Structure 1
Amino acid sequence: MKSITALQKARYAYLPKLPSALMQDVKNVVAVKGSATESFADQQAIKQLFPHTYGQPIVSFESGASSATFNPIKVGVILSGGQAPGGHNVIAGLYDGLKKANPQSQLFGFLGGPSGLLEAKYLEVTDSLMDEYRNTGGFDMIQSGRTKLESSEQFDLVLENAQKLSLDALVVIGGDDSNTNGAVLAEYFKAKNSSIQVIGCPKTIDGDLKNQFIETSFGFDTAAKTYSELIGNIARDAMSARKYWHFIKLMGRSASHIALECALQTRPNVTLISEEVEAKQMTLADVVQEIAHSVMKRAEKGWNFGIVLIPEGLVEFIPEIKALIAKLNDMMSEKADEFGAIELEKQPEWVHAQLDAKSAEVYASLPRDIQFQLILDRDPHGNVQVSLIETEKLLSKMVASYLEKAKAEGKYKGKFAPLGHFFGYEGRCAFPSNFDADYCYSLGYTSFLLIANGMTGYISSLRELQRPASEWVAGGIPLTMMMNMERRHGEMKPVIRKALVELNGKPFQYFAHVREKWAVENDFAYPGAIQYYGPTEVCDQTSITLGLEKSK
């Protein structure tokens, strides 16, 4: 065992809570099957693409005599995509389930995510190794990766490597894209008459892998609480110094779940919700004006400080910026050589001259450093890397310009000193909250039960998460049930649908009801650090989002 802190030692010893149906001998847990299912949308297309795994029933686990056999089996596991607190506990729950059913069963962790499957790089999980990582953050036990499994050659190689290890099943721990890969892999194995089963687990701090049966993805609870602690600390500092406006960008590329949850926990003055910006067709000027009005109203009370929360992917939801990015992507692809020959300092002017009038106007309105970010920070495909755009800096500069004009017109007499922050990696590998530690362990244990009962093409599911862990309902959901067809890279492909913030949902509706007060008042909340030991109401609380969604 490595040198560890007192907290680490205590967390290693923590015994995650399980649903009561799973707390007995595995031979006394029965799989109860419901009726046939269909995909979220595009039923005929999905059914045609997944003839072997489409329409499977929802499964729940209850007390009863199991008909499963518990012979020794070999299972592989991968961590796919970005890190999220609790991944190690998914592996721990899977490992403990395997060993309780039959001590001769083996678990193999593929190193570096899907690439480990392709390169046959793996390690065997042992008691001593597993005990080093129980209840800890991070994915460092077997690491993660973002390799996509898309080609028939890749699937052939995965099958070949899995067969060499004599695997009976593979567990894919990941987000919507990773579990889409899992669904395709399960179908592929079936089509090849392979008995290797594939089970998924819902992971992403963004919170966008959820639906009626996947009530939350793991890691969201911990990440949001970690960011909220930091936001609360900054809000307390702002109340103390009374001279800074803090613009805080929060991780969450495609959905604003983290920003909304952090707002509910900390009550900032302004929180931008990307989905609302898009729905209202708000311009960049509209967004700037919304922030500036809060600054001006608070200045009238002598409060020249405040907090603004910004989702990471906001710029892609502002219609005019989204259109500009699309134009830039096309132009930079078509004229890459010509652009490369332009002197660095003159590149923004060259870009401006190439754009249509509307896009050129939007581009010219941006601060010069943001203009450079839009044309220089590009991914391997030549597209703008939206996550690298310093949206917090963009908005603070544009708000400053707005306020200067308002001051010149005699409409504003306050002081405006902005500071920018980006909270992302700070939350991805935090020690999991008790909720995530319990949830992830139960997801892993449920994954084993799905394997033991012969399921493939399923994602591990736990429902009624607003209740104590003992009352959670464990089971499995067919991956095809969560799918629809979307255009990806010019082709229609089956994918698990991302869950964005629902503007008519209870969490957003509550936020919309109180935000006008928060915009002007000092109504900040200070949630403090995640608590692991103490009263249940303090240590085992769920996210506010989940509580509101499940409220009657």
Structure 2
Amino acid sequence: MSKISPLQKARSEYSPKLPPVLQECGPFATARLGEPTQSVADQDAIRRLFPDTYGMPAVTFACGESFDCEPIKAGVILSGGQAPGGHNVIAGLFDGLKGLNPDSQLFGFLGGPSGLIDDKYIMITEELVDSYRNTGGFDMICSGRTKLEKTEQFAQVATNCKKHGITAIIVIGGDDSNTNACTLAQYMLTEKTGIRVIGCPKTIDGDLKNEWIEVSFGFDTATKVYAELIGNIMRDANSARKYWHFIKLMGRSASHIALECALQTHPNACIVSEEVAAKKMSLQEIVTDLTKLVVKRADAKMNFGVVLIPEGLIEFIPEMNVLIAELNDLLAKEEAAFNAQADMSAKIDFVAQRLSAAAAGAFKSLPAMIKAQLLGDRDPHGNVQVSKIETEKLLIVMIEEQLAIINAGREKAVKFSSQAHFFGYEGRCAAPSNFDADYCYSLGYTAAALLGAGKTGYMASVRNVYAPASEWAAGGIPLTMMMNIERRHGKDVPVIRKALVELDGKPFKTFATNRDAWGAGVEYVYPGPIQYFGPTEVCDRVTETLALEHA
């Protein structure tokens, strides 16, 4: 980087905090073993698939005597979408490996798992690491979405590692990436390669968490970035008092981001996908509820508001879920005939004639714009690309249709002017908050300590993170502990189970208790930008979700 900003220069001098055991003992902390573990579900099936890693105990670190450690040659990959703090995971890993033995080496494989397969790498040096400490993004070695799941891929990885003398691989990724890490660890043990595999929990979506992984890294920073933007829009809405803002937020499989942003900013409405699924709410019911809110606020002379929408909402609506499943199957089976249609209008008619009655009804109710998006380019697995469906605009159009009917019977028409937004990439590569800078560095350092303890098939765990870093605990859990069997693409496969919003959990209950008041009034909170310097209650505060979960 030829030129850096004043903030980036100041951040480069920030020293991330470590859990006390790592601060005091470094990577030579002693691994204390807990009781044998089991997977979250499907225990017999997971045990058969992972005979060498299933049932391993959880690990906690405590100070003990230091030991001699041979130099470790390790490879690291960034896998999946970006999340703030990834560079600090690498920095913590690098420092931890050098702490075990100054002659240890770290290979950074480029572009994610594909770099590991294709043997494309750079040597990570102290000079390189120093230039990326506390920065956002994954651009030190870049990321990729290639899946490590085939035997021939594993064999190629083993060959490449053997060529360089690499005896450890660290996978920094989300649930799918760490599922692949779990399978890779088992392969390396089965084939007696001597290569160990450690995972680190990454995803801004917040859906990789459990008792031992209290939060995935990047969630803190991303939600604070989104909350700042939402607060700015709220201030604008409350100033102009003439627009309804519909804001879609990242989070396909869970609504953690939308819920956290709602807790930080107090919008007039926030849809939580998990609640929609639990109540079996139809699209029309969602629209009706929002329309009633628009009318209620208009009658109170407030023709403005802010609505938060999770990215994956459409997949949680029962009739839409059925429709999407049928579309995926239909377009896979009749791809050639579908592509042969003259234009989008013809394609829409082609599909409508081949859907079941229930799916056809849902399809017919949608605006032409959304129909076209549902029939657009598929992802590599042949599925609808949900992030490209403009749910925020769909809701706006359907509310306008309901208001047209309502206004026909009213003396004074309800005014409804709208603005649509999608906040996604704005938060993925932000400079990490103090929390994420500390947490990520600790995760990387913990991964090095796990290697020093001879572990494989584990995910680095840093717990008690709702408290100050001086009270954090370090350790690791077996990747198999998070696994279950799910049906994907017509096959039963082992995967790390996603953590959805718990409707009986305190974060959602707090939101549910307050949402009527937030909807009726102007209870907006303006969080402002992430603060890196100043009072600890401002700079080191944790997310509302984390604070409420551990209150």
TM-score normalised by L of structure 1: 0.98
Indicate how the Cα distance of structure 1 residues 38 and 243 shifts in structure 2: closer, same or farther if over 3 A, else same: same
CA shift, 1:411, in A, is 8.4
Quick check: 1:118–1:158 contact (8 Å CA) kept in 2?
A: yes
State whether structure 2 residue 361 is matched by structure 1 residue 357: no
Indicate how the Cα distance of structure 1 residues 54 and 411 shifts in structure 2: closer, same or farther if over 3 A, else same: farther
CA shift, 1:182, in A, is 0.7
Partner of residue 13, structure 1: 13
Indicate how the Cα distance of structure 1 residues 411 and 390 shifts in structure 2: closer, same or farther if over 3 A, else same: farther
State whether structure 2 residue 532 is matched by structure 1 residue 509: no
What does the per-residue CA deviation read over 1:149-179, in whole Å, with 9 as the maximum and x for residues that have no partner?
A: 1111111001111111111211000000100
Indicate how the Cα distance of structure 1 residues 467 and 522 shifts in structure 2: closer, same or farther if over 3 A, else same: same
Partner of residue 79, structure 1: 78
Quick check: 2:218–2:432 contact (8 Å CA) kept in 1?
A: yes
* Cα distance in 1 for residues equivalent to 2:60 and 2:383: 43
Partner of residue 311, structure 2: 312
What letter matches 1:541 in structure 2? R
* Cα distance in 1 for residues equivalent to 2:491 and 2:106: 37
Partner of residue 238, structure 1: 237
Partner of residue 212, structure 1: 211
Partner of residue 193, structure 1: 192
* Cα distance in 2 for residues equivalent to 1:550 and 1:412: 49
State whether structure 2 residue 441 is matched by structure 1 residue 441: yes
Quick check: 1:377–1:388 contact (8 Å CA) kept in 2?
A: no
* Cα distance in 1 for residues equivalent to 2:459 and 2:353: 50
Quick check: 1:255–1:501 contact (8 Å CA) kept in 2?
A: yes
Quick check: 1:259–1:273 contact (8 Å CA) kept in 2?
A: yes
CA shift, 1:287, in A, is 0.7
RMSD: 1.2
The 5-angstrom pairing of residues 213-292 of structure 1 reads 213-292=212-291
Partner of residue 480, structure 2: 480
What letter matches 1:378 in structure 2? R
Q: Which moved more, 1:172-181 or 1:344-353?
A: 344-353
What does the per-residue CA deviation read over 1:425-451, in whole Å, with 9 as the maximum and x for residues that have no partner?
A: 000000000000000000000000000
CA shift, 1:381, in A, is 4.0
Quick check: 2:218–2:436 contact (8 Å CA) kept in 1?
A: yes
CA shift, 1:350, in A, is 2.7
* Cα distance in 1 for residues equivalent to 2:44 and 2:234: 51
* Cα distance in 2 for residues equivalent to 1:177 and 1:27: 28
* Cα distance in 1 for residues equivalent to 2:153 and 2:178: 16
CA shift, 1:300, in A, is 0.9
Hey, which bits of structure 1, 4+ residues long, moved more than 4 A? none
* Cα distance in 2 for residues equivalent to 1:298 and 1:337: 50
* Cα distance in 2 for residues equivalent to 1:519 and 1:26: 50
Partner of residue 413, structure 1: 413
Q: Which moved more, 1:273-282 or 1:329-338?
A: 329-338
What does the per-residue CA deviation read over 1:4-43, in whole Å, with 9 as the maximum and x for residues that have no partner?
A: 1110001111000111111124376221111111111111
The 5-angstrom pairing of residues 36-115 of structure 1 reads 36-66=36-66, 68-115=67-114
* Cα distance in 1 for residues equivalent to 2:405 and 2:306: 22
Q: How many residues align?
A: 550
Partner of residue 332, structure 1: 331
What does the per-residue CA deviation read over 1:179-213, in whole Å, with 9 as the maximum and x for residues that have no partner?
A: 01111111111101122111000000000000011
Partner of residue 135, structure 1: 134
Q: Secondary structure at 2:177's aligned position in 1?
A: helix
Quick check: 1:31–1:60 contact (8 Å CA) kept in 2?
A: yes
Quick check: 1:507–1:548 contact (8 Å CA) kept in 2?
A: yes
Partner of residue 182, structure 2: 183
Partner of residue 373, structure 2: 373
Point out where structure 1 has 5 or more consecutive residues left out of the alignment.
Answer: none
* Cα distance in 1 for residues equivalent to 2:333 and 2:182: 36
* Cα distance in 2 for residues equivalent to 1:47 and 1:414: 60
Q: Which moved more, 1:200-209 or 1:286-295?
A: 286-295
* Cα distance in 1 for residues equivalent to 2:446 and 2:336: 53
Q: Secondary structure at 1:198's aligned position in 2?
A: strand
Partner of residue 387, structure 2: 387
Q: Secondary structure at 1:413's aligned position in 2?
A: coil
Q: Secondary structure at 2:45's aligned position in 1?
A: helix
Point out where structure 2 has 5 or more consecutive residues left out of the alignment.
Answer: none
Q: Secondary structure at 2:353's aligned position in 1?
A: helix
CA shift, 1:332, in A, is 1.6
The 5-angstrom pairing of residues 456-471 of structure 1 reads 456-471=456-471
* Cα distance in 2 for residues equivalent to 1:186 and 1:376: 37
* Cα distance in 2 for residues equivalent to 1:450 and 1:411: 71
* Cα distance in 2 for residues equivalent to 1:32 and 1:150: 31
CA shift, 1:343, in A, is 2.0
* Cα distance in 1 for residues equivalent to 2:97 and 2:168: 12
What letter matches 1:189 in structure 2? M
Indicate how the Cα distance of structure 1 residues 249 and 496 shifts in structure 2: closer, same or farther if over 3 A, else same: same
What letter matches 2:418 in structure 1? P
* Cα distance in 2 for residues equivalent to 1:28 and 1:216: 25
Q: Which moved more, 1:405-414 or 1:507-516?
A: 405-414
Partner of residue 203, structure 1: 202
Quick check: 1:461–1:475 contact (8 Å CA) kept in 2?
A: yes
CA shift, 1:398, in A, is 0.4
Q: Secondary structure at 1:34's aligned position in 2?
A: strand
Partner of residue 431, structure 1: 431
Indicate how the Cα distance of structure 1 residues 129 and 65 shifts in structure 2: closer, same or farther if over 3 A, else same: same
What letter matches 1:488 in structure 2? R
Indicate how the Cα distance of structure 1 residues 411 and 402 shifts in structure 2: closer, same or farther if over 3 A, else same: farther
What letter matches 1:338 in structure 2? A
Quick check: 2:25–2:64 contact (8 Å CA) kept in 1?
A: no
* Cα distance in 2 for residues equivalent to 1:368 and 1:193: 56
